[in-house]
Structure 1
Amino acid sequence: MKRRERTRQLIELGGLVVKAGLVELTGDDRATLYGAFISVAAKLRSEEREQALALWHRRGKRAFASDAEGDAVNDCRPVHDTDG
């Protein structure tokens, strides 16, 4: 059962990478994606952790809400976030 749950988690996380447009924006370059994830992890290990988590959480909630309303979340326009 744990293996099935882990597989589902990995599929869902991969789906988020695609949904965010990262595959297209990087040309499916796995090294670039991995490097970006390492940068995110470094930020989460820094003193900026709480601020980054709050910002990313708000952005993610808005994107999910927009997607639920049928809007195109990933239209590759720059994000102009007023949250900071």
Structure 2
Amino acid sequence: MLPFRTKHKTSATLKLRHLIVKVGIVELTVDDRTTIYGAMLWMADKLRSDERDKALALRAAKGKQAFAESIDRGHLTRGRCLEPI
């Protein structure tokens, strides 16, 4: 049996992977890991900048709206993806 932290980390990783696949990043980049990694680095740089608060607010609002729309269309349930990581 895996220790709790290892199980939690695995669970968090799977949730993040599901979100990346769900929004179409894998398909849009033809699963090009360097492109996906580059996009994540760009996002991390933005969150380390003086624009952090604005970037967080904009992305959180967009994510909240997208989750709500996916739930309304029945494409997503309130469950695994919506739990805090």
Q: Do both proteins adopt the same fold according to a TM-score greater than 0.5, normalized to the shorter chain?
A: yes
Give every structure 1 segment of 4 or more consecutive aligned residues whose post-TM-superposition deviation is greater than 2 Å: none
| Separation in 2, partners of 1:48, 1:16 | 24
Give the aligned CA root-mean-square deviation in angstroms: 1.5
- Show structure 1 runs of 5+ residues with no match: 74-84
| Separation in 1, partners of 2:74, 2:35 | 28
Q: Percent identity, please.
A: 45
Write 1 or 2 for the structure with the bigger share of helix: 2
2:82: which partner in 1? none
TM-score if structure 1 supplies the norm length? Answer: 0.82
1:59: which partner in 2? 62
2:21: which partner in 1? 18
Cα deviation per residue 1:20-79 (whole Å; 9 max; x = unaligned)?
111011010000000010000000011110000000000000000001111669xxxxxx
Q: Specify which structure has the bigger relative contact order, considering alpha-carbon pairs within 8 angstroms and separated by 6 or more residues.
A: 2
1:41: which partner in 2? 44
TM-score if structure 2 supplies the norm length? Answer: 0.81
- Show structure 2 runs of 5+ residues with no match: 77-85
